[in-house]
């Protein structure tokens, strides 16, 4: 069902991921990310923190909006995912908020795909957050194909757990 992501990369994996996620979890994730980045900002102001750049691209200051909406690495992930959906996504150059990016991407899809996309957006943000933490705390860096494979594996689990609209997104 979701093998398009894998076939795009010429690889496939059945690595088990974590369990259920849903759109509501995106709100919690983003709240955590904003608290975290605000805490980093505070530590930087007090000279307690030197790491200020995004751990994914190392080009821009780390904020939740940058990480989830404007980071070049995040946008590469989205570009590949949209390609599997048959949508040519020209990479946006303008930085914006997470909400603006979500609405922008959502508007590129037919109406019957948008609910499934909401779940996918939460899933991708979760994976980006996991990548960010892996790079900072464990010095683990995933390649783009590895990130796409793990998103696919996680999406399969979410579909099995009941995210039917997410499944339809990739089967229609």
Task: Give residues in contact with Zn ion (CB under 5 A).
Answer: 54, 56-57, 71
4 vs 104, which CB is nearer to Zn ion?
104
**Quick one: 14 or 93, whose CB is closer to Zn ion?**
93
DSSP character string of 12-38: -----------HHHHHHHHHHHHHHHH
Residue 57 CB, nearest approach to Zn ion (Å): 3
CB atoms within 10 A of CB 84: 19
Closest CA to 122 of 25, 5, 28: 25
- Report in angstroms how near the CB of residue 60 gets to Zn ion at its nearest: 5
Closer CB to Zn ion, 19 or 59, in the complex? 59
CB of 42 to Zn ion, least distance (A): 20
> Nearest approach, Cβ of 64 to Zn ion (angstroms)?
11
Are 104 and 24 contacting, i.e. CB atoms less than 8 angstroms apart?
A: no
Token duo for residue 62:
């780390």
CB 64 within 8 A of CB 98: yes
Q: 17 or 55: whose CB is closer to Zn ion?
A: 55
- 65 versus 118: smaller Cβ distance to Zn ion: 65
99: CB partners within 8 A, 6+ apart: none
> Closest separation between CB of residue 87 and Zn ion, Å?
23
What is the C-alpha separation between 29 and 34, in angstroms, rounded? 9
């Amino acid at each position: 069902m979701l093998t398009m992501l894998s076939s795009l990369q010429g690889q496939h994996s059945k690595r088990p991921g974590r369990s259920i996620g849903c759109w509501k979890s995106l709100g919690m994730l983003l709240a955590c990310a904003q608290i975290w980045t605000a805490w980093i900002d505070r530590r930087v102001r007090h000279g307690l923190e030197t790491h200020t750049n995004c751990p994914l691209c190392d080009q821009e200051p780390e904020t939740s909006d940058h990480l989830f909406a404007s980071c070049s690495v995040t946008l590469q992930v989205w570009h590949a995912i949209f390609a599997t959906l048959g949508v040519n996504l020209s990479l946006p150059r303008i930085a914006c908020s997470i909400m603006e990016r979500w609405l922008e991407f959502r508007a590129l899809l037919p109406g019957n795909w948008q609910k499934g996309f909401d779940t996918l957006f939460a899933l991708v943000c979760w994976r980006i957050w996991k990548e960010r933490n892996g790079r900072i705390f464990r010095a683990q860096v995933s390649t783009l194909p590895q990130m796409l494979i793990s998103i696919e594996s996680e999406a399969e689990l979410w579909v099995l757990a009941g995210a039917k609209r997410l499944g339809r997104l990739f089967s229609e």
